[in-house]
Amino acid sequence: MDWYWILPTILLLAAASRSSSTWSPFQSEQVKEICAHMTRDERRATAWRGAACGLLIALVFGMTAVLLGMVICRSALVVVTLWLLTFPLAALVSRKKWWPQVVRSHQRFLASTEWAQSQGIKPEEIQLYTWQK
C-alpha cells in the first residue's frame, strides 16, 4: 500500500479547507494591500496555492533524499546527511530555473484578483517582496 501519500494528502486538504492568513515576513506593501482586499474565494485559492507549493517542495527535496538514501545506503543517518549536503545545491539550481516562473505565477495570480483588476494593476507592476525592484 502507498501509505506515504496519506499524511501529505491530509495536510494539503487541511490547509486548503482553512481560511488562513496571507501574511509573509518579506511581503511588499503592495501585496499586503491586494491581500487585504481579497474575497473569500481568492483567499481559499491562495491557501490551495500555498499548500501545493509547500507539498511540491517537500516531495521534490525530501523524498528524493529519502529514496536515494534508503535505496542506495539503507541508513537513516546517511539519508539525513545526504539531504543536508544536497539541499543547498538543489535550492541554488531551483532558484535559477524555477524561481522566476514562481514569481511570475504569483504576480499573475495577485493581478487577477477583483480588487487588483479594479485598480488596473498589471502583473509586471507587482513587487512581491520588500527587496524586489
Q: Look at residue 1 in the predicted model and tell me its pLDDT.
A: 47
Q: Look at residue 120 in the predicted model and tell me its pLDDT.
A: 95
Q: Look at residue 110 in the predicted model and tell me its pLDDT.
A: 95
Q: How many helices and strands, by DSSP H and E, does the chain display?
A: 7, 0
**Per-residue model confidence as pLDDT tens digits over 44-76:** 898 888 888 878 777 776 777 667 666 777 766
49: left (phi over 0), alpha (psi -120 to 50) or beta: alpha
Taking 50 as the pLDDT cut, the residues of the chain under it are: 1, 19
Q: Look at residue 118 in the predicted model and tell me its pLDDT.
A: 96
Angle at 35 between CA 47 and CA 91, to 5 degrees: 55
Q: Look at residue 38 in the predicted model and tell me its pLDDT.
A: 93
CA 47 to CA 12: how far, in whole Å? 9
Give the chain's radius of gyration (CA, Å).
18
